[in-house]
Structure 1
């Protein structure tokens, strides 16, 4: 049997409730099983991200609370610092608090990955996802 590590985390009640719904839908025997599966998925995504190299076209989707003023200015600074990668941005107000941005980028994969990771590092960002493809000429 593998050594088990125990951890304690703080999770907002609403998020935990949604996670419990997923656990029930998927038939997990416990929260621990669901968390282990989520960690494995996260590790696989990080492995994929580490292999994003060469000229790429990508879409970065980001969900955040617009009322967090420091967050918005921080996100704008990260975008400004990476403006050479950005082809266009779509900004959508989802409700009175939440916004979604879709940022279309093109550039060296490592630079796109670093840009995405800087967006992820902001504490109040709720979700960031990067998808990339090779430019058509290279497929």
Structure 2
């Protein structure tokens, strides 16, 4: 293990302490490692658009919007290679929540998400992306 020393302002130290308390970290090293890992994953996703990822795309839409359901279904079919699973929830008489689990190159996943989120009648949404090892894995393996 390697060691690094950093200097920080009192304000940054206070923010780090609050982060540690909220997330249950016992020491600064653990908290800074976690934050660095998040930053490195974010940078990897920004600089390597072909990297493999898994993602969740969640969005709320008005199912009464003319032909929106048809357009959303067509977009999903056009990107069938990305979709792993979808959950559809009726929130009320007008609004539905859809959650899609996706896997593929980050640029393709982001492109699909943009197409969905930019549809007229989609009120709000969020894409959460996690980079993964692109090595194929055989199913039936033991999970740790």
Query: What band does the TM-score fall into relative to the shorter chain?
Result: 0.5 to 0.7
Root mean square deviation of aligned Cα: 2.2
Q: How many residues align?
A: 91
Q: Does 1:113 align with 2:113?
A: no
Q: Which residue of 1 aligns with 2:62?
A: 65
Structure 1: 5+ residue runs without aligned partners? Answer: 1-46
Q: Which has the larger radius of gyration?
A: 2
Normalising by structure 1, we get a TM-score of 0.60
Q: Does 1:102 align with 2:99?
A: yes
Q: Which residue of 1 aligns with 2:130?
A: 133
1:79 pairs, out of 76, 80, 87, with 76
Secondary structure, counterpart of 1:119 in structure 2: helix
Q: 1:100 and 1:59 mapped to 2: Cα distance?
A: 13
2:85 pairs, out of 84, 88, 102, with 88
Shift of 1:137: 7.6
Secondary structure, counterpart of 1:56 in structure 2: strand
Structure 2: 5+ residue runs without aligned partners? Answer: 1-41, 136-144
Of Structure 1 and Structure 2, the greater helix share is in 1
Normalising by structure 2, we get a TM-score of 0.58
Q: Which residue of 1 aligns with 2:29?
A: none
1:39-83 Cα deviation digits (max 9, x unpaired): xxxxxxxx98x8273100000001001112411111111111011
Q: Which residue of 2 aligns with 1:17?
A: none
